[in-house]
Amino acid sequence: MTVIESYLSSLEFISHIGGVLLAIVSLYAWNFWTREAFYSGFPVYGFSKKNISLSSAKEKYLTDGRRILLEGAKKLNTCFQVVTANGPRIIFPNRYVNELRSIKSLSLSEIFRKSLCLEHYETSLPDWTMVLMDAARALRMWPGIFKPIVHWFLPECRLLRKTRNKATIVVERELTRRREQERASNSKPSTVKVGDTLGWMQEVAGSKNIDLAAGQLVLTFASIHTTSDLLTKCLYNLSAHPEYQNLLRKEIVTVLSEKGWDKTSLYQLKLLDSFMKETQRLMPTSVRLMNRVAQQKVTLNDGTIIPKGAILSIIQDRHFDPDVYPEPQKFDGYRFLKLRSQPGQEAHWQLVTTSTDHTGFGHGIHACPDLITGHPSSSEDMDNFVKWFKKTFLVVMPKERTRKNVHLLTNDAQSLLQELLPEQSSWGVFDPFDTIYEIIYQLTIRMKSGIREDDTMQILLDMGTSMRNTIGFVIGALFAGQLNTGINAAWVLVKLAENEQWTARVRKEVDAVAARNRKYHGQPTTEALGSLTLDDWESEFPNICLCFHESIRLALTGSSFRKNISGQDIPIGNSGEVIPRDAYVAYLHDELHMNPDVYPNPTEFDPGRHLDERGEGQNVPHGYIGWGSGLHPCIGVKIAKTEMTIVLAYFIAIFDFELSDKHGNKINREPCQINRNAELAEKPRSHIHLRYRRRSE
């Protein structure tokens, strides 16, 4: 018997295993009963007593917290508790705001609270805000019972501890400098007022021994996170409601031309202020705000007892109360401007004011301490964006249809490609997955920037689709159009560079179209192409269409998926099987596009396989799914085809091109392979370069 076998069969081994199991059980019990115990006297919502641990409730809150909070407030109509990602928390309806806001023993739960969470979730510089997020994500992957240990070893948390140490040194150095300044001026500390957050924290702390470095770090993070969050949502609403763009621009130009940037001009930007406050009302940073910790036992007027150490929040159900805000689910950028216009209400509805009806920045003695500085930053960013939007988007295609302005796209494509021209007849080198991708990006933005009343966004809004879903759909469509179209167009050039026969065939087609549309003898090919109509671009280039048809077949990896939203099981033909209600169905594209029975030699680039006389892909139902199929085909197929046709036609008309290394040396190699394991269209992992030079007319 070996030593290992002897040990495994011994009582010593059994005792060690028992000790490990006992330690795990003890740690779990300690974590459950001490850190995650419920507060007595408050009903629990969103948690089943059948659950042994809180894990399932935490997961449910992470994905559906908004519904749980609003539903709990409506059904219970009193204080209750929910299980958040950090454990149980008491939730108070909005009617408690006035009482809770003035209780000094309820301190800010995010600042000055020495705990494991605070110790390792801080940052001091904007660049470190993302490091903080990375650390939070890394630690969240671990079960709660292991977090007190594992954080010591995670590199993200170690970086934050290092950040904390550096920040402490900086804060202590600044405090020392201020004390020396006080002694030099023979002033009492209480008479020296410093108008910054550090001075404010010193004043609030008084004689208490608090961690000023921790407070400074958390304030810095909060200001960056919440300001950028509000600004991003304002940009979403600016895109979802384009009717406000000219109105905001007019106000900004008028005010700034008279006053410039100062406090009085901020007050005069009333529509911008109302637009931002309405965005914050509808899309708050969290539906649960005013997070507090009870430093001692507190008894409210109605007899509700808040135990010492309890964590509590106020739910923002008031933001969606129709008695306070008529049509609360509707975005109305003028809402707070109208309220400010009422007699005696001029200063009550600004973005930086708080009230029981709008707690986006908190309320009471612990309202957002960075409130005043956060507003100008957001307003200035919004102003810069609106002016940039005017220069780049709206000036291109204001209120015009793409069909009437296709010449803008052709002119853009020509000018962008002209920038690639090398000196004289020498060879230039470029990466098509960067350059062509960027050109497609420019054209996609211009296609999408027309403010039309009959576009997809307007249809969705007319159908009553929520603003959030409408924004998500439009941005998703823009993303899909840019990602897929840019990469597929680049692959076409690469594959043509590998296939001289199809390059010659496409070039002959482009030259023939240009020749048929020349207005005079000797007119340059690019000018002749610039006179084409949208119908011409859609019908005159069948060979280019075959090429990107084949490119999409090769480059389309991953799966398509759909969700059964019919509310019932759907039978799958006569198979006897069903797609369950709310289930997702996925289909691997390669099952069709890489099937040699449907497409012989499927890995070869062969655009001719899509000709009617060859009939590949036509012998099976839905034999080509490059643009989707069935009830949900790609809604941007015409735009994508037009973009790729324009870019490819101009490129082939202007340049000769061939495969090369990054230094411009011609190379001959095996056809470039596409990563079949990719989930989406993607650039090749190794750089591909083309060298090019101007064609002679």
Highest mean pLDDT among 376-390, 486-500, 577-591: 577-591
Tell me which amino acid residue 650 is.
Y
Find out whether 237 and 467 touch, Cβ atoms under 8 Å.
yes
E strand or H helix at 294, and its extent?
Answer: strand 288-294
- Over residues 425-445, the mean pLDDT reads 55
Kindly indicate the confidence band of residue 283, based on its pLDDT and cuts at 50, 70 and 90.
confident
- Over residues 340-365, the mean pLDDT reads 74
Please tell me the predicted confidence (pLDDT) of residue 501: 92
Q: Which has the minimum average pLDDT: 45-54, 159-168, 281-290, 638-647?
A: 45-54
Q: How far is CA 589 from the centre of its chain?
A: 27
* Residue 630 pLDDT exceeds 60: yes
| Residue stretches of the annotated binding site for heme | 634
Find where tokens 């470095």 sit. 213
Tell me which amino acid residue 146 is.
F
CA distance 185 to 164: 31
Q: Which has the minimum average pLDDT: 36-40, 100-104, 376-380?
A: 376-380
Beta-carbon contacts of 516 under 8 Å, excluding residues fewer than 6 positions away, are none
Please tell me the predicted confidence (pLDDT) of residue 441: 46
Segments in 463-589 forming alpha helices (H): 467-497, 500-516, 525-530, 534-539, 542-555
78 versus 326: the higher-pLDDT residue is: 326
Query: What sign does the CA torsion over 664, 665, 670, 675 have?
Result: negative
Q: Average model confidence (pLDDT) for the chain? A: 72
Please tell me the predicted confidence (pLDDT) of residue 113: 34
Please tell me the predicted confidence (pLDDT) of residue 262: 59
Q: How far is CA 523 from the centre of its chain?
A: 47
Q: What is the DSSP code string of 350-386?
A: STT--BTTB-BTB-GGGS-TTHHHHHHHHHHHHHHHH
- Over residues 88-92, the mean pLDDT reads 79
**What string of H, E and C letters represents the secondary structure of 234-276?**
HHHHHHHCCHHHHHHHHHHHHHHHHHCCCHHHHHHCHHHHHHH
Q: How far is CA 590 from the centre of its chain?
A: 30
Q: Which has the minimum average pLDDT: 306-320, 500-514, 618-632?
A: 306-320
The pTM of the full predicted model, rounded to 2 decimals, is 0.44
Kindly indicate the confidence band of residue 542, based on its pLDDT and cuts at 50, 70 and 90.
very high
* Residue 462 pLDDT exceeds 70: no
Beta-carbon contacts of 454 under 8 Å, excluding residues fewer than 6 positions away, are none
Find out whether 230 and 276 touch, Cβ atoms under 8 Å.
yes
CA distance 456 to 462: 10
In this predicted model, what pLDDT tens digit does every residue of 631-654 receive, in sequence order? 777 767 777 788 788 888 888 888
CA distance 464 to 471: 13
Instruction: Sort strands 559-563 and 570-571 into parallel, antiparallel or unpaired.
Output: unpaired
- Over residues 232-253, the mean pLDDT reads 85
Find where tokens 């109105």 sit. 247
Q: Which has the minimum average pLDDT: 242-246, 368-372, 670-674?
A: 368-372
- Domains (range + CATH), the chain: 397-556+634-694 (1.10.630.10)
Tell me which amino acid residue 457 is.
M
Please tell me the predicted confidence (pLDDT) of residue 87: 74
- Over residues 166-188, the mean pLDDT reads 72
When computed from its CA atoms, the radius of gyration of the chain, rounded to whole angstroms, is 32
In this predicted model, what pLDDT tens digit does every residue of 151-169 receive, in sequence order? 888 888 888 888 777 777 7
| Residue stretches of the annotated binding site | 634
Please tell me the predicted confidence (pLDDT) of residue 289: 67
- Over residues 303-315, the mean pLDDT reads 79
Query: What sign does the CA torsion over 665, 668, 669, 670 have?
Result: positive
* Residue 30 pLDDT exceeds 60: no
* Residue 186 pLDDT exceeds 50: yes
Find out whether 529 and 461 touch, Cβ atoms under 8 Å.
no
Q: Which has the minimum average pLDDT: 114-128, 182-196, 536-550?
A: 114-128
Highest mean pLDDT among 202-216, 334-348, 352-366: 334-348
Please tell me the predicted confidence (pLDDT) of residue 502: 93
Q: How many residues does the chain have?
A: 697
3 state SS of 170: helix
Instruction: Sort strands 311-315 and 87-92 into parallel, antiparallel or unpaired.
Output: parallel
Highest mean pLDDT among 13-17, 186-190, 401-405, 625-629: 625-629
Please tell me the predicted confidence (pLDDT) of residue 490: 82
Please tell me the predicted confidence (pLDDT) of residue 367: 60
Beta-carbon contacts of 679 under 8 Å, excluding residues fewer than 6 positions away, are 557, 558, 559
Closest to 144 in 3D by CA, of 45, 59, 17: 59
* Residue 394 pLDDT exceeds 50: no
* Residue 321 pLDDT exceeds 60: yes
- Over residues 272-294, the mean pLDDT reads 80
